[in-house]
Structure 1
Amino acid sequence: MNKKNPLSASEVGTLWLTYLEKTLILRILEYFIAKSDEEQPKNIMGGLWQELDYYIKKIEEVFKGEGAAIPVGFSKTDVNTEAPALYGNGFDIMLVRILKEISMGMYTINMNMAYRDDVMEIYEGLTSITQKIYKLSTLYLLGKGILTSPPKVTLTKHNEYVESKAYLSGFNLFKENRALNDIELGYLHHGIETNNVGMQLITGFAQCAKNKEVKKYFLRGKELAKKQIKIFEELLIKSDIQSTASTGSTVTTSTIAPFSEKLMMFCVYILNGFGIVGTSFGTIFSLRSDLSMQSALLAKDIYFYAQDGIKLMIKNGWLEEPPHMEDRHQIINGKSDQ
């Protein structure tokens, strides 16, 4: 059947990116499993490792069946499980939860770009695993008091419609802005929560990086995360709401890298994409103009930070080139190496 229905360009592209992301997560899990001294987190991460490893092999089978090159991704050479603990207890599952949140969004997009049964089955299976691990991680973190739920609100007793364009205003000098609605509050809380995890992750990366440009890049990312947290917290405080998002854990004093700089840079690259999407949702669904403007400005900052990261990966030979269509201009001029 597959010979009659070869992989489409979109399927090759999404499988390629999925392979890179999953091999990266396997290496991260291997390190955190080695450092964990609690049974429950080890079981969560160990179960995830086994299931992801199965689907990595499935993707390899698809590429082999088509005679296509298997991506390099990330291997055992990109992780040092003997490195000392870089993060305190609890951070491992906080990071797993964020990575699974990213995966849920990616699988939805990938499924929408899949046309072959075997490719759709891969994303169906990965989606099921991701939702299960996300739930287990959330419940574990809540039970340990590491993760806190968003602020509680007084429930609305009756329905209302917006009666004035003033509802959209967030820049009125003569009166207080309207109270945050629950959708806006949720995005702000989520932004603080994810940036807390990102700030700690990249702080650890900065401590371990030996390349001066990479270290400088990570420190810049740390400041960008702090900036976002500060903005979101100030918006909550102005609405008389105290942020309940926890910091998750602590970074140790270790300066021995558990991961290659190639892996750390690609991890930040993935998180940058997640950050751009998250702030874009905040821009679209926040109905107060000041919130939308802040989200748009932050998305711009993340975009330019991400672009500089891509250039740094290219400079160091760390950015694997995605599969691409034939270059007809080169073929016509006899310059193709195919």
Structure 2
Amino acid sequence: MDYENPISVSELGTLWITYQEKTMILRILEYFIEKSDDQEAKNIMGMMWQELDYYVEIMKKIFKSEGAVIPKGFTKEDVNLDAPNLFDNGFDIMFLRILKEVSMGMYTINMNMAYRVDVMTLYEGLTTITHKCYKLATLYLLKKGILTLPPNVTIPKKTEFIESKKYMRGYKLFSEKRALNSIEVGFLHHGIEVNNIGMQLITGFAQSAKNKEVRQYFEKGKELAKKHIKTFRDLLLENDIQFSSTSGSTVTTSTIAPFSDKLMMFCIDFLNGFSIVGESFGAFFTLRNDIALKTALLTKDVYFYGQEGLEIMFKHGWYEEPPQTEDRNRLINRNE
């Protein structure tokens, strides 16, 4: 590839993390496709696999043309297609939908850090197929009765403006909290939905991981997901809003790992980052201070849980090192 500008540090960094993520998703899709007995689900996942594999090859070409080492990412060594079903009843498409939700946010950030036409074109293409896959997955899950819709709300008939800081009140002991607004209900519903899927995912990982330390880490994550669900559900119930959890998706009794401990740890680390960003975004648009504070405390828990996971990955040599900038001090003092 002949481009006027060499690849920038930001482009190299975003391509590296995108390569890690995409090779991880390819391995996950290979397992789910192998185990699926639903042709429509297989078609959605097969289409996604073909598209992602195409863009992984494009990323390899970019790395090669720049003289950069091609990341290892995740390979056939990280998936066991002979492992029995670890998840059942539509979990494959539910999880794929969550992964594509994360990807949407990633591509927006990555596009903002791209300056070369080929890199921008890559993220533009990935964005298009992600939107398509997310839509297909959502329609499939609704048709199967696996995905539940958010609560309904009374439709507003006139425009109103907030006239007092009392609107933000949530922790005053002797005052009544206002009802949740539609933005807050939507955020809480989404938080329950994604943490419900996350809890099932990490439960399956916990019962199948080979390393004892990894199993214990996943068990801790399962309890953290439960804490999120309880916090968000209690806030809805206080406002007389009942959340209907997703039906169907289950974890089987299998203890045979379909993925390497390395892949499962990276997957949870990846989702931890999404949780921090997503909940911070929701808290920013929440206008009741009790919800914002509770969300901030949950985000803090996820951050420290993620740090613990990184330490485990570093300890076992499971985290591939991203491209580094030059260590000038080491070069200057090399002969001392």
Query: By how many angstroms is 1:175 displaced?
Result: 3.2
Contact 1:32 1:92 in 2 (8 A): yes
| Matches of 2:244 and 2:323, distance apart in 1 | 43
* 1:197 and 2:176 are equivalent in the alignment: no
Q: CA deviation at 1:245?
A: 3.5
Shift of 1:19: 0.2
Determine the structure 2 residue equivalent to 1:9: 9
Task: State the secondary structure of the residue aligned to 2:251.
Answer: coil
What is the CA-CA distance between 1:16 and the residue it aligns to?
0.3
Residue 279 of structure 1: how far off its partner (Å):
1.1
Q: Which residue identity does 1:313 align to in structure 2?
A: M
The one-letter amino acid of 2:142's match is L
For 1:96 and 1:73, locate their aligned partners in 2 and report how far apart those are by CA, in whole Å: 19
Q: Give the 4+ runs in structure 1 shifted more than 6 A.
A: none
Report percent identity of matched pairs.
66
Partner of 2:30: 30
Task: Trace 1:128-277 onto structure 2 (pairs within 5 A).
Answer: 128-246=128-246, 249-277=249-277
The answer to whether the Cα contact below 8 Å between 2:279 and 2:299 also exists between their aligned partners in 1 is: yes
Report the TM-score when normalising by structure 2: 0.98
The answer for unaligned runs of 5 or more in structure 1 is: none
Separation of aligned partners in 2, 1:94 and 1:138: 8
User: Following TM superposition, by how much is the alpha carbon of 1:174 offset from its aligned partner in structure 2, in angstroms?
Assistant: 2.1
Take 1:13 and 1:173, find their aligned partners in 2: how far apart are those partners? 48
CA separation in 2, counterparts of 1:129 and 1:326? 36
Contact 2:142 2:148 in 1 (8 A): yes
Q: Note the C-alpha offset of 1:247.
A: 5.2
Decide whether the 8 Å contact of 1:55 with 1:126 is kept in 2: yes
Cα deviations across residues 279-299 of structure 1 (Å, max 9, x unaligned)? Answer: 101221100000000110001
Could you tell me how far 1:333 is from its partner in structure 2? 2.1
Moved more, 163-172 or 25-34: 163-172
Asked if the contact 1:205/1:257 (under 8 Å) is kept, the reply is yes
Whole-Å separation in 2 of the counterparts to 1:66 and 1:299: 38
- The size of the alignment, in residue pairs, is 335
CA-based RMSD:
1.0
- Offset, 1:331: 1.3
> Are 1:31 and 1:80, in contact at CA under 8 Å, matched by a contact in 2?
yes
Distance in 2 (alpha carbons) for counterparts of 1:334 and 1:12? 27
